């Protein structure tokens, strides 16, 4: 569906139609309630988003002239440290423009400027709004703190623009039939018209945001689901730089499946919708080989998750050297402070492969090349 052009707004309504169909094909009160809420908030978000975009067209049409030069995309399998690396690099805010969670709801010039104005007013009135948002963070996302710390004012991935087009697997988080729908998991494998419409909309979002956030800065994105759309990203931004984080599949796969099925409630462990998330994780690992063949070495670097967690400062400096970025003394000191803090970190999560019908033998057989490339133990 297009409103004037895909760059203005694009939605693949066939995916929304499938959500409605599979939600109501049989009685399930929990799914029905989720579906009603989901459809309502999706349409409400779309309505408000269009208003902000219309304001942009009237007052901030200069965003169309913005050039997105050498954007940086942090990509990996979910649960591989992308949020951590993104928040580390985003501390170099003299160099990078990056979205916070609140920005991603409406990636427009007008909303970004409105958010900046509210932030300025709040700083001069005792931070009442900020404190209120912190309470909302605790209400909405408090249960995820040990999984993926979220908050309206935290640096966050730009997945919502893809979800707004329905070209995101995230739209199936509340719906236990992920195994039945395949046409929004890998944008790179979809018809050209879908890829173009999705990327037109996404590029428009990025341009609008950068226009308001700092045209002299480099756009920094982290997005685990962009593993399945990296070719589309490179076609649209051919000078992009990609940072890939490799985590041992025995750890990443069950953690991924656990996080993305957390809302499925009492479904059995071997339910097809649960298993489909594990299979998607395997497919993402396999797609890395395609990534290697397509991206020039000068635009790509892979880092190991354990190195990132154990030595964040040196890992970030390694990335900077690879891309010929200069790290300021202030930024290096910030990294040193983070490294000292990180020494006390220990994950409290242990995930069972068996719970998701996975075995070490099966994973090793499917992902032999990944194990070999990164030196992961069998």
Q: What is the pLDDT of residues 178-206, one digit of tens each?
A: 899 989 999 999 999 999 999 999 999 99
| Residue 17, number of CB atoms within 10 A of its CB | 11
Q: Which helix (H) or strand (E) holds 96?
A: strand 96-98
Domain covering 2-374, topology? Rossmann fold (3.40.50)
CB burial string 25-64: b at 16+ within 10 A, e below: eeeeeebeebbeebeeebeeeeeebeebbebbeeebeebe
Give yes or no for residue 239 having a pLDDT over 90: yes
CA 98, 103, 107, 111 dihedral sign is: negative
Contact 278, 363 (CB under 8 A): no
The pTM assigned to this predicted structure is 0.90
For the cut 80, the answer to whether the pLDDT of residue 102 exceeds it is yes
pLDDT in tens, 52-98: 999 999 999 999 999 999 999 999 988 899 999 999 999 998 999 99
The string of pLDDT tens digits covering residues 20-47 is 999 999 888 989 999 999 999 999 999 9
Angle between helices 192-213 and 109-123 (to 10 degrees): 30
**285 alpha-carbon distance from chain centroid:** 16
How far apart, in whole angstroms, are the C-alpha atoms of residue 147 and residue 84? 12
Q: Which residues pair with 261 in a beta bridge?
A: none
Average pLDDT for the chain: 87
Is 337's pLDDT higher than 60? yes
The DSSP bridge pattern shows strands 218-222 and 72-76 to be parallel
Distance CA 306, CA 270 (A): 30
- Dist CA 276 CA 261 (whole Å): 10
Give the whole-angstrom CA distance, residue 251 versus residue 258: 11
What Å distances lie between residue 329 and 182, 280, 356, CA to CA? Answer: 47, 41, 46
Collapsing DSSP to helix, strand or coil, 221 comes out as strand
- Mean pLDDT, range 150-166, rounded to an integer: 82
How many other CB atoms sit within 10 Å of the CB of residue 258? 19
SS (H, E, C) 160-217: HHHHHCCCCHHHHCCCCCHHHCCCCCCHHHCCHHHHHHHHHHHHHHHHHHHHHHCCCC
**Which phi and psi angles does 304 have, rounded to 5°?**
-95, 135
* Cα(105)–Cα(100) distance, integer angstroms: 10
């Amino acid at each position: 569906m297009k409103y004037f052009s895909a760059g203005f707004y694009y939605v693949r309504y066939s995916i929304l139609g499938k959500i409605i169909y599979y939600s109501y094909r049989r009685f399930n009160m929990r799914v029905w309630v989720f579906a009603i809420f989901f459809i309502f908030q999706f349409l409400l978000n779309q309505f408000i988003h269009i208003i902000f975009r219309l304001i942009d067209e009237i007052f901030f049409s200069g965003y169309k002239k913005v050039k997105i030069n050498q954007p940086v995309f942090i990509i990996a399998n979910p649960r591989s440290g992308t949020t951590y690396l993104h928040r580390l690099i985003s501390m170099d805010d003299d160099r990078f423009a990056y979205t916070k969670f609140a920005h991603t709801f409406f990636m427009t010039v007008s909303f970004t400027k409105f958010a900046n104005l509210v932030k300025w007013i709040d700083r001069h009135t005792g931070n009442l709004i900020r404190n209120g948002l912190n309470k909302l963070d605790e209400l909405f996302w408090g249960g995820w703190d040990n999984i993926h710390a979220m908050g309206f004012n935290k640096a966050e991935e730009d997945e919502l623009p893809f979800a707004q087009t329905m070209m995101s697997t995230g739209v199936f988080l509340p719906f236990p039939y992920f195994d039945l729908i395949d046409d929004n998991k890998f944008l790179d494998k979809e018809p050209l018209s879908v890829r173009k419409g999705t990327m037109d909309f996404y590029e428009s979002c990025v341009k609008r945001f950068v226009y308001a956030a700092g045209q002299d800065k480099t756009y920094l994105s982290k997005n685990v689901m962009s593993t399945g759309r990296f070719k589309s990203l490179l076609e649209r931004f051919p000078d992009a730089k990609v940072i890939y984080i490799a985590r041992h599949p025995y750890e990443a796969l069950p953690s991924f499946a656990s996080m993305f099925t957390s809302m499925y409630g009492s479904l059995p462990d071997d339910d097809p919708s649960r298993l489909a998330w594990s299979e998607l994780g395997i497919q993402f690992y396999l797609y890395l080989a395609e990534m290697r063949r397509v991206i020039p070495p000068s635009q790509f670097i892979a880092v190991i998750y354990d190195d990132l967690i154990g030595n964040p400062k040196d890992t970030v400096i390694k990335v900077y050297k690879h891309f010929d970025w200069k790290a300021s003394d202030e930024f290096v000191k910030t990294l040193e402070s983070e490294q000292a803090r990180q020494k006390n970190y220990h994950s409290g999560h242990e995930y069972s492969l068996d719970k998701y019908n996975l075995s070490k033998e099966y994973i090793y057989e499917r992902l032999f090349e990944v194990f070999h490339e990164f030196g992961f133990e069998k």
